[in-house]
Structure 1
Amino acid sequence: MDWTWADDEDELVTAYHEAGHAIVGCALGAQIDRVTLSQASMFDDEDDGMPHRFGDCIVNWGRVDPSDSWQRQRELLTILAGPVAEFVYQSGDEDLLDVRTWASDWRQAQLCAAAIKPQAAQQVQLLREAVNRLRKIVAADPCWSAIAALADELMLGDEIEGEQVADLVRFWWSRA
């Protein structure tokens, strides 16, 4: 009898990705409504060359003033935090990144950057600076410890409520 389990590395990478969104968003003042992983990828036998993973993080900023630059910057950092957490989890090895899995995040980040900076060159510079800043923040404590703890919770398979995310942020930031 073969007791080996299917490789759940894709699911773990997704857990770190979603945890990145949730922890950074919460630390920046958003209310996280919920964070989940889909179990559907476990049952997908089709090998279509696409990654078999899916997660969801619902970030609620409350009442938003679209002209508030700080609000847009917080949104941008939260959007990019998922891909950056995934990158950090994979030891910063760009060869392991599958950008197809976060193309939606990148499109959202580009729209957010366009709302902050009028010119394309400024937008590219803003995105580059945001990613570089996040790589340092996400990889360091207390942020990384909180992301890892939330990723572990997500791997248990249950939906994580926003209050659990807020508790993790308070716990790890109180130790910093």
Structure 2
Amino acid sequence: MDWDWEPDEDETHTAYHEAGHAIVGCALGAQIDRVSLSQASAYDDLDDGLPSRFGDCLVNWGRVDPNQAWQQQRELLTILAGPIAELIYRAEDADQIDLAAWELDWQQAQQCVRQMHAQREMQNRILRDAVSRLKQLIGNPPVWPAVAALADELAIGDEIDGERVAELVRFWWRRAGY
């Protein structure tokens, strides 16, 4: 019997997205409680407007003082790391970011920058700067190999605990000499 499955690009994109959140969050000092992909395959035939695949990454910062700029910055970078990791995997430009597809991430990022600065122009600058920094950071070692390794594990389908995410970060950072 010859099995011929089409690769599921949505699942792969979601795996890179969630891996971006997890790896960057862990590298910035968060505890990752878990990261997973979920399939709504039982409901795939329904035309209810819900995504057929989605992911989840639970980032635990512990006790956070929202008035500390460095805490706000690491939270913003972690929020945006998912969309940027997916963007890099898709080999797209930041101008091609589909805001509707990442609506929850963008809402969280905007809420975060509103806490960082009151002026809209400055908020937009902070977001642009964060996206630019993340494209450089995520697209290179040690971050990119760690993101790719976690995305591969996520594609297998099992939920991944925070200790495994931390192991990947330690492994790839050591290989890069950090």
TM-score by length of structure 2 reads 0.91
The equivalent of 1:130 in structure 2 is 130
Counterpart residue number, 1:60: 60
- Determine the structure 2 residue equivalent to 1:16: 16
**Aligned counterparts of 1:157 and 1:44: Cα–Cα separation in 2:** 17
Structure 1 residues 84-103: aligned runs within 5 Å? 84-93=84-93, 98-103=98-103
- Name the structure 1 match of 2:143: 143
Q: Which amino acid aligns with 2:141?
A: D
How far did 1:15 drift? 0.2
User: 1:82 maps to what in 2?
Assistant: 82
Deviations 1:53-93 (CA, angstroms, capped at 9, x unpaired): 20000000001111111000000000000000000000125
Confirm or deny: 8 A CA contact 2:39 2:52 kept in the other structure. no
Q: Secondary structure at the match of 1:78?
A: helix
Change (3 A) 1:61 1:101: same
Aligned-pair identity in percent equals 65
| Alpha-carbon shift at residue 3 of structure 1 (Å) | 3.2
Q: Residues of 2 paired with 1:89 and 1:42: CA distance?
A: 28
Hey, what's the Cα distance between the residues in 1 that align with 2:82 and 2:149?
Answer: 15
Q: Pairwise CA RMSD of aligned residues?
A: 2.1
Change (3 A) 1:125 1:93: closer
Q: CA deviation at 1:40?
A: 1.4
Q: Provide the TM-score with structure 1 as the length reference.
A: 0.92
What SS does structure 1 have at the residue aligned with 2:34? strand
Q: Count the aligned residue pairs.
A: 176
**Cα displacement (A) at 1:99:** 3.2
SS at match of 2:71: helix
Residues 1:105 and 1:19: Cα distance change in structure 2 (over 3 Å) = same
Runs of 4 or more off by more than 6 Å in structure 1? none
The worse-fitting range, judged by mean Cα deviation, of 44-53 and 55-64 is: 44-53
What secondary structure is seen at the aligned counterpart in 2 of 1:99?
coil
1:4 Cα offset (Å): 2.9
For residues 156 and 96 of structure 1, the distance between their equivalents in structure 2, rounded to whole angstroms, comes to: 28
SS at match of 1:54: strand
More displaced stretch, 48-57 vs 105-114? 48-57
1:8 partner letter: D
